[in-house]
């Protein structure tokens, strides 16, 4: 099988549990370190799927790698090559597919409840999953591109995830988190947390205190989503 391309946009925002999931199933993957200057490929045909991770930048920023990333996503969708996005990655997908990325009503940092929608698309990806706590770290949000179906929502961010053509998944939340990543983000992002004036931003102490109870249930949901996504991988 061709490898899955995983795009990292910041050193601290790697694939996390997604890599663990792929390794457990012996699915090959290649890390493309955009933050370290790795070039965005011109063509998605060399890959079984594309996965875009998070990052502190905005898809609206004037960065040289964003236009080729958007073109790559569009090309992959046209070829039927599955695309997966986490937070910034989901925003890249939305922008590439005709949506917009704008400021969210409030910044979200930490653990927060998300709800699957009661419709066929959500059930196809999440089964009978009820509300669960997802991890968040964002100040912007995406609109739904034409032809997509929203599958997750929350009180502070209406569009938490959408799917397209039963094979492409874009998420605003971070289901890929590991405990080590959460601890690192809380340390690196301490100033951002302290400066935030939002009811949806938790203190680092609260985030870390909640992690033992909330991480494992979220990881179980992540595995279900990832399992559904890999069903569409190209050989």
Residue 136 region, left (φ>0) first, then alpha (ψ -120 to 50), else beta? beta
pTM over 0.95: yes
Which are the contacts of 106, defined by CB distance < 8 A and separation ≥ 6?
156, 198, 199, 200, 201
Tokens linked to 146: 């034409």
CA–CA gap between residue 212 and residue 14 (Å, rounded)? 21
Three-state SS string over 86-127 comes to: ECHHHHHHHHHCCCCEEEEEEEEEEEEEEEECCCHHHHHHHC
Instruction: Tell me the fold of 4-230.
Output: Rossmann fold (3.40.50)
Two tokens, residue 196: 């935030």
Helix (H/G/I), strand (E/B), else coil: 214: helix
pLDDT average per 10 residues of sequence, the chain (235 residues) = 98 98 98 98 97 98 98 98 98 98 98 97 97 98 98 98 98 98 98 96 98 98 98 94
């Amino acid at each position: 099988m061709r490898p899955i391309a995983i795009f990292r946009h910041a050193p601290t925002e790697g694939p996390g549990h997604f890599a663990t999931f792929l390794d457990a199933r012996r699915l090959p993957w290649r890390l493309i370190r955009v933050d370290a200057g790795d070039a965005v490929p011109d063509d998605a045909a060399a890959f079984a799927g594309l996965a875009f991770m998070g990052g502190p930048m905005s898809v609206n920023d004037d960065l040289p790698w964003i236009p080729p990333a958007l073109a790559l996503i569009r090309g992959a969708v046209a070829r039927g090559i599955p695309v997966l996005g986490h937070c910034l990655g989901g925003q890249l997908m939305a922008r590439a597919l005709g949506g917009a990325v704008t400021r969210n009503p409030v910044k979200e940092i930490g653990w927060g409840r998300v709800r699957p929608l009661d419709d066929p698309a959500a059930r196809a990806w999440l089964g009978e999953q009820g509300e669960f706590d997802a991890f968040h770290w964002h100040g912007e949000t995406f609109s739904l591109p034409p032809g997509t179906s929203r599958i997750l929502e929350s009180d502070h961010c209406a569009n938490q995830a959408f799917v397209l053509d039963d094979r492409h998944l874009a998420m605003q939340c971070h289901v890929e988190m590991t405990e080590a990543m959460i601890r690192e983000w809380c340390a690196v992002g301490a100033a951002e947390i302290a400066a935030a004036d939002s009811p949806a931003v938790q203190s680092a102490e609260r985030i870390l205190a909640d992690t033992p109870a909330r991480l494992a249930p979220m990881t179980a949901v992540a595995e279900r989503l990832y399992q559904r996504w890999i069903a569409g991988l190209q050989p």
